[in-house]
Amino acid sequence: MKRFFVARLTAVLGAVAIGVVVSPSDTRAQSTPTYVTHAGIHVHRNDDGTVKHGPRNEVATQNWSGFAVAHFETGQTYTAAQASWKVPAVTFDTLDTSGSRAQYSSTWVGIGGFCENVLCTRGDRSLIQLGTEQDVTSTGETSYYSWYEMLPQYPVVLPTSTYPVLPGDTISASLLCNAPCPSLRRQSWTLTMSNLTQGWHWSVTVPYASSKLSAEWIEEAPYAGGVLPLADFGTATIDPTVGTGELTPALTVAKNGIQMLDPWGQTANPSTPGASFNVCWGSGGQFTAC
């Protein structure tokens, strides 16, 4: 299957990283952003400015669904987080109101990028993360690939020729702040990802200044000048762990859950967590029980 917009996206990301302006050359891709990023949390707010919450007290957002643990609740900082998941297959949502000819979804584990306090009056601008992308066009062409990102830098896409990703593949990913891990200056982070189905392993060590104020496991509607329409991923299942001991975090929907209603009517709803949790896709502003 031809994946025109991923090849174009990979080329553009590489060019943007060195400051080169790339002009669109494929007229079919004009409604496709020239780059896709994975932003920090964008919460919905009530008329009085407070954060909206779902019926189970989950935080309501435009772009994230899943779970997060935060310093303002636990008093802890986070220097390691891990996740495994099966890459969900995506289809195009015909009820989408955006007019876009492509839809997007990302599955990832990260540190930072969440609210800095319970009222979310401050958002954490640091976010180091890695995961997989699952995108689809209105004609049914799909794209699956892996990436990592350190805000405010653009994401780095791993070449699919070396690191192929297909729906149903089992992915394992982790972030680790290497000791010593200082708080007030750049740290050294090791990111690793393995595709247990395809048999490849990847790792990189990078400098980054993280707040270490949260760890999260997310199904996301990516961002490009605004929140993009969320591809129909069906159900994503994520196994979260945290810390160097890779412990299953004590998550509850009411304390840690995150629910998504994107600007185009697509939704993502987290299940009750255990050793793993599901995120279930919905459309037309309706949440799917999960």
| 278 lies in some domain | yes
Find all residues with CB under 8 Å of 170, minimum gap 6, and list them.
Answer: 84, 85, 86, 87, 195, 196, 197
Find all residues with CB under 8 Å of 78, minimum gap 6, and list them.
Answer: 69, 71, 111, 212, 213, 214, 215, 242, 243
| 75 lies in some domain | yes
Q: How many domains in the chain?
A: 1
| 257 lies in some domain | yes
65: CATH = 2.60.120.700
| 46 lies in some domain | yes
First-to-last alpha carbon distance for the chain, in angstroms, is: 31
Per-residue pLDDT of the chain (290 residues), as tens digits, is 434 343 333 333 332 222 222 222 222 222 445 679 999 999 999 999 999 999 999 999 999 999 999 999 999 999 999 999 999 999 999 999 999 999 999 999 999 999 999 999 999 999 999 999 999 999 999 999 999 999 999 999 999 999 999 999 999 999 999 999 998 788 999 999 999 999 999 999 999 999 999 999 999 999 999 999 999 999 999 999 999 999 999 999 999 999 999 999 999 999 999 999 999 999 999 999 99
Contact 212, 111 (CB under 8 A): yes
Closest CA to 113 of 42, 178, 7: 42
Structural domain span for residue 18: 4-282
3-state secondary structure of 16: helix
| 86 lies in some domain | yes
* pLDDT given for residue 33 in this prediction: 57
Model pTM?
A: 0.89
| 287 lies in some domain | no
Contact 217, 114 (CB under 8 A): no
For CA atoms 17, 183, 124, 174, the dihedral sign is positive
| 288 lies in some domain | no
| 88 lies in some domain | yes
Return d(Cα 228, Cα 130) in angstroms, integer: 19
Residue 245 CA, chain-centre distance (Å), reads 23
